[in-house]
Amino acid sequence: MLPWVQRRARAAYERLLKREISGGPTHVAVIQDGNRRYADRNGGEAPDGHRAGAQTTERMLDWCRDLGVEELTLYAFSTENFDRPDHEREALFDLLERKLYQFADDDRVHDGEVRIRAIGDETMLPESVREAIRYAERRTDDYDRFTLNVALAYGGRNELLGAARDVARAVEDGDLDPDDIDVGEIDNRLYDDPLRDVDLIIRTGGDERTSNFLPWHANGNEAAVFFCTPYWPEFSKVDFLRGIRTYESREESWRRTKVKRAAALVRAVGGVELREAREVIDRFRDTLPEGTTVDELDAEGESSSAD
Ligand code: FPP
Ligand code: MG
């Protein structure tokens, strides 16, 4: 196809996808995978792939603003990535350091009141990267319109182990009653300023794994997961919109399931007004597509097995 025809078709498709989106995710987390394979395919080395990936990262920030996302978490360097060859690791740290300074000084970050912060075990990182983190965090500390979390030396299980140790110490010191350990308590022990639960995880590059990324925050909201094949450097806004559509249809089916279960419960007790079930039905009735009746969902519930 001619390039301009392709561009116009793509723009039209983008507009179509955007129209289909109504209530998008608040917190999106991205596993930016496929940089080296992209570089390899284009005759480059791993650092070329990471540099190309960083350009997509910048575009992603613009798309998030455009689509009303309020928090973005990027998997930039995992604890497993320390096993990469020295030259790749060092080039990646240099790039991350440069990007952190660049983001922290970018007018778009200040105009959009973007708060930048790092998550992960900073003590494992080179001092120059830690200094860049401190700089970016300090320069954007007052903002809260949008949050950009950069996961560096990050491992989800490590993070949970840290919180578990912290809880154990507080119990041992008599500062915490085991009966008071709840979700909020763990949230507060993971970060001074807790992360929101994740609504949508995107992974590029074709692998269908979530690789130790945000296990606590992804489960809180039962995050939707969108796996796609483009390598991170070639991930486009259309791919992102598809990911958001996946989130929305998952939300929609989740709401239907809740109403179906509540309706089934009311039916099972012979029409007795069960307060909780009625509440669920009332809460979700308005969020279902126009014209959907509880009776319809109830009938669906009878004909299909458990979700
Ligand atoms: C995974 O692809 C990517 C990384 C380990 C690095 C991600 C970092 C960036 C995109 C830099 C920009 C980020 C910020 C926050 C400024 P891979 O190396 O595993 O590639 P492969 O799957 O093809 O082997
Ligand atoms: Mg990879």
- What CATH number is given to the structural domain containing 183? 3.40.1180.10
Within 13 Å of residue 87, how many CA atoms lie on the same side as its CB?
4
Question: pLDDT exceeding 90 applies to what percent of the chain?
Answer: 70
Q: Residue 15 falls within a domain, yes or no?
A: no
Q: Does 58 lie in the same domain as 182?
A: yes
Q: Does 196 lie in the same domain as 161?
A: yes
User: Residues 155-166: pLDDT tens digits?
Assistant: 999 999 999 999
Q: Residue 156 falls within a domain, yes or no?
A: yes
Q: Does 80 lie in the same domain as 34?
A: yes
Quick one: pLDDT band at residue 307, thresholds 50, 70, 90? very low
Q: Which pLDDT belongs to residue 253?
A: 79
Whose alpha carbon is nearest atom 5 of ligand 1?
77
| Residue 41, C-beta contacts closer than 8 angstroms, at least 6 positions apart | 231
Q: Does 266 lie in the same domain as 226?
A: no
CA of 228 from ligand 1 middle (Å) equals 15
Q: Does 207 lie in the same domain as 69?
A: yes
**Domain count for the chain:** 2
CA of 22 from ligand 1 middle (Å) equals 31
Q: Does 121 lie in the same domain as 52?
A: yes
**Which of 116, 119, 102 lies closest to 147 in space, CA to CA?**
116
Q: Does 146 lie in the same domain as 95?
A: yes
Q: What is the CA radius of gyration of the chain?
A: 22
Q: Sheet containing 224-227: which strands, arranged edge to edge?
A: 114-119, 146-154, 71-78, 27-31, 200-203, 224-227
User: Residues 96-137: pLDDT tens digits?
Assistant: 999 999 999 999 999 999 999 999 999 999 999 999 999 999
Q: Does 277 lie in the same domain as 189?
A: no
pLDDT at 298 over 80: no
pTM for this one?
Answer: 0.84
Mean pLDDT across 242-261: 82
Q: Which pLDDT belongs to residue 305?
A: 42
Task: Share the mean pLDDT of the chain.
Answer: 88
End position of a domain, from candidates 235, 266, 289: 235
**Annotated catalytic residue 33:** yes
pLDDT at 287 over 70: no
End position of a domain, from candidates 235, 270, 292: 235
- Higher pLDDT pick, 251 / 258: 251
Q: Which pLDDT belongs to residue 157?
A: 95
Whose alpha carbon is nearest atom 8 of ligand 1?
76
Q: Does 266 lie in the same domain as 156?
A: no
pLDDT at 14 over 90: no
Mean pLDDT across 81-106: 98
Q: Does 270 lie in the same domain as 168?
A: no
| Residue 40, C-beta contacts closer than 8 angstroms, at least 6 positions apart | 49
Other CB atoms within a 10 A radius of the CB of residue 252 amount to 16
Catalytic residue among 40, 81, 94, 166: 81
Q: Residue 138 falls within a domain, yes or no?
A: yes
Q: Residue 248 falls within a domain, yes or no?
A: no
Q: Residue 10 falls within a domain, yes or no?
A: no
Q: Does 229 lie in the same domain as 115?
A: yes
Range of the domain at 299: 253-306
Q: Residue 292 falls within a domain, yes or no?
A: yes
- Residue to probe by mutation, ligand 1, list 30, 35, 232, most atoms within 8 Å of CB: 35
Q: Which pLDDT belongs to residue 77?
A: 98
CA distance 54 to 64: 15
Q: Which pLDDT belongs to residue 304?
A: 47
Quick one: pLDDT band at residue 226, thresholds 50, 70, 90? very high
Q: Does 281 lie in the same domain as 183?
A: no
Mean pLDDT across 174-179: 95
User: Residues 263-279: pLDDT tens digits?
Assistant: 676 666 655 556 666 67
Q: Residue 2 falls within a domain, yes or no?
A: no
